[in-house]
Structure formats: C-alpha cells, structure tokens
C-alpha cells in the first residue's frame, strides 16, 4: 500500500494508533513529549498526532513548541474528553476524543492533511468558505476542528454527513 504520509505520533501507547498504519500512514512514535520533540527536530513529518495527557510535558506544551518551530504543520490532539483548558487548544488544528474512536481519528488525520485552506477575496487564509458559519471560540462542530481551513465548501468536503456518521460508528471501510 502506498504511503499517505508520515505521522509523528506522540502517545503513551502508540499501538492504539495502528489503524493509521493499516491505512497507509508511516508512523514515527514517541511515548513522551520530550522524545516526540526530539524526533520532530530530527525527522521530516507531514502531521502530528498528539495525546494531551503525556505526563510531565503535556500535549499543550508540546503542540506549542512544534507550532513555534513549524507553524503550518497540522496537529491533531487526542484527548480523553473535550473539556481541556483553552491554552491546550491554541496550537492544535483538530481535537479528537478517544471515545470518538480510531476511525474518526483516521478521518480527521486525512482531513487535516488533504483539505486546503480557504482564502477570502482579500487574501486572508483561514476564512470560512461562503455558506459556512464562523467558528465560535474556535470550534467548527463535531469534527472538533479549530481552524476554518478544515471547513471546505460542501462540494469539496472529503466526506459526506453520512460518511462522517459511518466513521464515528466505526462501520466505514476505506
């Protein structure tokens, strides 16, 4: 199977992310924030999957440091629940809760890697496409995306509403 890209997965139990590898992503794994940052500075990656609860160096600190070095890299935060401090969400592009399931994480990674940023007529990147609501406090809905760039026009969306439902239920096949 052809590679969909290289993901740096910073997670206490990287084996839980095996579905990403099964669907063509090359995984570089680290179990601590410190090791993850070390890998990030030494290897080229296309995106980051980052667990929020990492121990001493939590995911928010790691995400902030990654964005400081490479602001355009997509970061998907994986957390136990949605109630995280606002500071934890400033440097991430999407949030997936563990209860959303592995298929939803897979779809979210696919989305942040493949959906192009929207651009308004004034040239400002990140503006929602016409017909898409402005995110409130950064949220754009169930997909937990924090940047409008992940909200394409309906005819450019990577998955239909039915597709997202099947992904959340774990019944979709890629």
* 58-83: pLDDT as tens digits: 899 999 999 999 999 999 999 988 78
Q: How many domains does the chain divide into?
A: 1
* Pairwise CA distance, residues 45 & 26, whole Å: 9
Least confident of 81-90, 104-113, 142-151: 142-151
Establish if 121 belongs to a structural domain.
yes
Q: Which helix (H) or strand (E) holds 94?
A: strand 94-97
- The CATH number linked to 121 is 3.40.50.2300
pTM for this structure? 0.68
Establish if 174 belongs to a structural domain.
no
Percent of the chain with pLDDT over 90: 49
Q: Is the pLDDT of residue 144 over 90?
A: no
Confidence category of residue 3, pLDDT binned at 50, 70, 90: confident
Establish if 114 belongs to a structural domain.
yes
Establish if 55 belongs to a structural domain.
yes
Establish if 79 belongs to a structural domain.
yes
Establish if 145 belongs to a structural domain.
yes
pLDDT mean across residues, the chain: 76
The pLDDT value given to residue 134: 32
Q: Is the pLDDT of residue 143 over 70?
A: no
The pLDDT value given to residue 82: 79
* Pairwise CA distance, residues 165 & 91, whole Å: 27
Would you state the structure tokens that stand for residue 92, as one six-digit string? Answer: 């991430």
Q: When comparing pLDDT for 170 and 93, which is higher?
A: 93
CA distance readout (Å), 166 to 56, 107, 159, 174: 36, 11, 10, 11
Closest CA to 28 of 60, 50, 53: 50
Residue 139: exposure state from Cβ atoms within 10 A (0-12, 13-18, ≥19): middle
Establish if 160 belongs to a structural domain.
yes
Confidence category of residue 84, pLDDT binned at 50, 70, 90: confident
- Residues 44-57 have pLDDT tens digits of 999 999 999 887 77
- Residues 102-130 have pLDDT tens digits of 999 999 999 999 886 554 444 444 434 43
- What range defines the domain where residue 47 resides? 5-169
Establish if 42 belongs to a structural domain.
yes
């Amino acid at each position: 199977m052809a590679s969909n890209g290289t993901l740096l997965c910073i997670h206490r139990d990287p084996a839980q992310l095996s579905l990403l590898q099964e669907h063509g992503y090359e995984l570089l794994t680290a179990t601590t924030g410190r090791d993850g940052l070390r890998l990030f500075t030494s290897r080229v990656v296309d995106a980051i999957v980052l667990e929020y609860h990492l121990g001493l160096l939590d995911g928010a600190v790691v995400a902030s440091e990654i964005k400081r070095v490479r602001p355009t890299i997509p970061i998907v935060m994986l957390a136990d629940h949605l109630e995280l401090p606002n500071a934890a969400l400033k440097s991430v592009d999407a949030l997936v809760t563990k209860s959303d399931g592995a298929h939803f994480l897979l779809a979210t990674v696919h989305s942040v890697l493949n959906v192009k940023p929207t651009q308004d007529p004034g040239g400002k990147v990140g503006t929602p496409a016409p017909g898409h609501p402005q995110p409130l406090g950064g949220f754009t809905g169930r997909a937990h995306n924090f940047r409008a760039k992940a909200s394409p026009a309906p005819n450019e969306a990577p998955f239909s509403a039915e597709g997202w439902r099947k992904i959340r239920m774990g019944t979709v096949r890629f």
